Amino acid sequence: NYVLTQPHSVSGFPGETVTISCTRSSGSITGNYVQWYRQRPGSPPTSVIYEDDRRPSGVPDRFSASIDSSSNSASLTISGLKTEDEADYYCQSDDSTNLWVFGGGTKLTVL
């Protein structure tokens, strides 16, 4: 079993670039795909990144993601920040026991 750790909050001004990290506590971050979900208040999560760095249809290319094996972490980067990006963001990967493992979530505030 492992834990995915995210910062509680990040913020940025419109037009800026923000990055949200997701650090895996044990085992290699490259061993299992990482997904990222956005959840606006009162709505279910929706995917913004799957399989480490792939964007679902309809997600703008302002959203990108990467994997860094040296820090054993994944990162979600949102460029050209818009007010509509304000939401909670969750990383997610998988595990042989718990199957789905979610990070604790990061609240993105657009200032």
Partner 1 sequence: EVQLVQSGAEVKKPGESLKISCKGFGYSFSTYWMAWVRQVPGKGLEWMGIIYPGDSDTRYSPSLQGQVTISVDKSISTAYLQWSSLRASDTAIYYCARPRGDGSGSMSFYFDYWGQGTLVTVSS
Place of tokens 């419109």: 14
Question: What type of residue is 64?
Answer: S
Q: Where are the beta strands (DSSP E) in the chain?
A: 4-5, 9-12, 18-24, 35-39, 46-49, 63-68, 73-78, 87-95, 99-102, 106-110
In whole angstroms, how close is the CB of 91 to partner 1 at the nearest point? 10
Give 3-state DSSP helix, strand, coil % of the chain, rounded to 5. 5, 50, 45
Task: Compute how many residues bind partner 1; rule: CB under 8 A.
Answer: 24
Binding region for partner 1 (CB under 8 A) out of 11-19, 60-68, 71-79, 98-106 = 98-106
Regarding 105 and contact with partner 1 (CB under 8 A), the answer is yes
Nearest to 37 by CA among 59, 16, 9, 7: 59
- What tokens were used for 107? 């609240």
* Closer by beta carbon to partner 1, 56 or else 80: 56
In whole angstroms, how close is the CB of 82 to partner 1 at the nearest point? 22
Site string for partner 1, 72-91 (x = CB under 8 A): ------------------x-
Of the residues 44, 58, 61, 96, which one makes contact with partner 1 according to CB under 8 A? 44
Q: Which residues bind partner 1 (CB under 8 A)?
A: 32-33, 35, 37, 44-47, 50-51, 56, 90, 92-94, 97-105
